Structure 1
Amino acid sequence: MRRVVSLYLPSWPTDRLRRSGSCAAPSDEPLATVAQDGARRGLAGVDAAARRLGLSPGMSAAHAQALVPGLHLVPADPEAEAQALARLGLWCQRYAPIVALDPPDGLVIDITGAAHLHGGEAPLLADLAARLERSGITARLALADTPGCAWGLARFGAGGIVPPGGAADALAALPVAGLRLGSEAVRALQDVGLTRIGQLADKPRAALRLRFGPEILFRLDRALGREPEPLTALAAPETPRVALRFAEPVGARESLEGVVADLCARLVPELERRGLGARRLDLVFARVDRLDQAIRIGTARPSRDARHLARLLAERLPLVDPGFGIEEAVLAASRVEPLAERQISHGATHLVAGPQAPDLAALVDTLLVRLGAARVYRLAPVESDLPERAVRRVPALAAPLGAVWPADLPRPARLLAPPEPVMAMAEIPDAPPLFFVWRNTRHQIARADGPERVLGEWWVADAEADLARDYYRVETEAGERFWLFRDAPMAANGRWWLHGLGEA
């Protein structure tokens, strides 16, 4: 099912000015852009501070200055705003291949088949919102099955995520302006008491068409997914890309696999000419009904291996709905890195300097495509006394950082986050327990080693100044190995916790 994000930028003209450094107005003082319309000067854009003071686009500049004497006014520049919006759209292609302009203050991102690369829909939206906020861009995001539904929720609702199939319920309470209708159509509906989309959806269609014309029903059907809504995707001119156009529409899986192989074979020479390797590929299928389908794959290292790239793309083909047929396919290397040529032989003799480490890039790429980037990683050591802080996730093929865990302080193969409480009993202070009960199961201890005293990091948090744990490595009579600790001496009624399983 199609999933689309509407990105609404209510303060885009003023946000652009502040980001470009061309406006000297302090960030906490109201700012607006002004445009000349004949003899009238009106506000074209306002920032959050001006909006809180009651200003809005369309208000006359004289009225606005009378209401807010300290208002900063800057001439509007629609052309520069459009160019900046296009650049922001190209940046948003980090999230999905299909990003379309929604001028003058928005973008539409078709994330169908791409959300898994960012941990899911909610993490994708959270990351996008956080990055925009850090960049000083005010934004409201909504995710739905259709561009129309997402547009209405972003501008007239609270934004957020609409579950698949929930467009009708999400739109019902929105004003009719949320259907992207003109002001005249909105006034005509309001004159007869139709102020909400839910009211409009319940009325007989024939009567609505007869009284208001076809436009209102057309917008409603697009918002509900009854009518297709194609998007015109942005494309950076410098991006390496190749395309295939077909005399007859294709749709069979075998045909698409052949198309993928052909496109990869055509793209690799272009990458070689530029000295680049692909880190991310976007494959967009243009359907005959203009509802494009896109898939995306990433690689752990720059690659120009056509067969390998084609295999990765083929893994994603089951997500493609060809509809009534595909008439064009475009493959773009949307993220590239320099990749130098490598000499592997001299004459007829292959030179081998010694044992070669296995190249895991192909395996990692396959796992990335199947599982998503969030699930493919390795653990690297971090300088910390507390076990839960002594590791961090890094990319699977990241270069070694130089740090290693101490060989004389073995750690379990798996840490529990957070540690789980257990009931345990020890005979004497500082002695390991005789047994412990975890998840209603009693474990009799046969061997133990410890204690290992771990103190809190007072330079990180004041609350850890008195933290002390005594860790024990234990083996049960059944041969299972655990990592237990007591959070205070026995005399202080310390509690027992299970922190790790197995042994590294």
Structure 2
Amino acid sequence: MPPTGTITVPRRFLALWFPFLPANRLRIAGGLNAGPDAPFAFVEKQKGAVRLAAINPLAGDEGLAAGMTLADARAMVPELQIYNSDPAADEDFLDRLADGCTRYTPNVAVYPPDIIIMDIGGSAHLSGGERKLSRSVKEYLGRRQITVRIGLASTTDAARALAEFSSGHHNSEMCAIEALPVAALRLDAEGDLGLRRAGLQTIGEVASRPRSAIAARFGTRAVFALEKLIGAAESPLNPRRHEIPWVFERRFPEPIASKVYALKVLHGLLEEAKIRLIEEDRGGRHFEASFHRVDGRVQYVQVETGLPSRDTKAITRLFDERLDTLADPLDPGFGFDSVGLRILRTDPLKPHQSQLEKEAREEDNSAEFLDRLAVRLGRNRLLTFRSRDTHIPEKSQVASAAIHDTTQHNWTAATQAEPPVRPLQLFDPPHPITVIAEIPDGPPKRFRWHGKSRDVTRFEGPERIASEWWLGGDDPLGAGQWTRDYFRIEDTSGRRYWVFRYGLYGRETSDPQWYLHGLFA
């Protein structure tokens, strides 16, 4: 066949597996109630039982694994911290990680809950080869303290399997694939068990058998999975649908050695991007500037905004402040030969007359202030509170990174005619107090706190709050999951307190304990 003049680029795929993605997501969002050295897990209800959906590395070190019942996990690790599983938040976090991976290739596919696969066949040479690109990806994620394992292969299925199951170095890709366990075929539990009962432990052992024998005993699905894994069948990549690429670049006929001029060029690119954003009624949320030196080194600088923006002055100011905080300052070396700008995330942004709309102007000013704080302090150190779907007072709000939280949180406020239902100051954990009541399950008549007795003149209640029994023994007060009866009380000096009796008398305990949970005034 005569040559056609077309160069065929070999397909190469880099798979990223995030074994602790929910834990990494929660830590980055600032939502951990315990310290970073505590084992914790995420739970969800499966087939009538509360089971572990995901764990952090420390929980794994204790022998815990996803799929275990919460009761079994508690028996092994009594101090285990529990969080509700949030698949939607995990998928959004995986999408944001995929956004960052587009710096290496535009062909990025997301496979929830924890896999990203990149087609690097036509882009690896831009990073100095496959090994350097792989190392760069691991360093990029490592700086964010994200646990990742990678697999590199000629098919998507093989790359994914190597990322998840490979446990050592091999002389060739095929040797590495043949050494994988049969779980890499991703069959159902019955098929996986059948292979192992037949004495087939590795992919190599399965591949050595006639395909007809495998199909007859384990079905055509096992044959098809094997063929895709070893590259005998097509294993296409399904990359994410990209919006119109927001990429801008300015090349120089001669290298420039002035950092100030390079920043002016960046401002010009932002002005160019603003025109397109206005045409599309969109605003940027995540901007990345790239400074390309003549020696091949590229320095990337990223900034994010809490709200969509196309205010070039504000975004330029964020870049200036980001550059001032870099541990590795922007160094032109022998000069820059180009400056680039990518907008990694955009959201709809309708124009408004900020001069006439006072509330909109105040919102813009607040958002800009938060963006600048996030640049200086770090986006994960700037937190906001959002409500959580729970009746337990100390769990009713959770801290999250303000830069990513654009939801309007409307907290219910008491009317002027009614006293507040919840105290302004909440003690976490609650303070134990000694209470005298007429009957064990009655309201308090007198209580002792900080060594001083106080007589109760008025009370409201009880307000009964049941425990979250389905989450297991996660009550910081210990002793089990008991009911709380809350009272709003007032002493002789007019001070108001929020106290509760822990445990139903006669049903949960014979000696209920009392706690002070907050102060109204």
Query: TM-score, normalising length from structure 2?
Result: 0.48
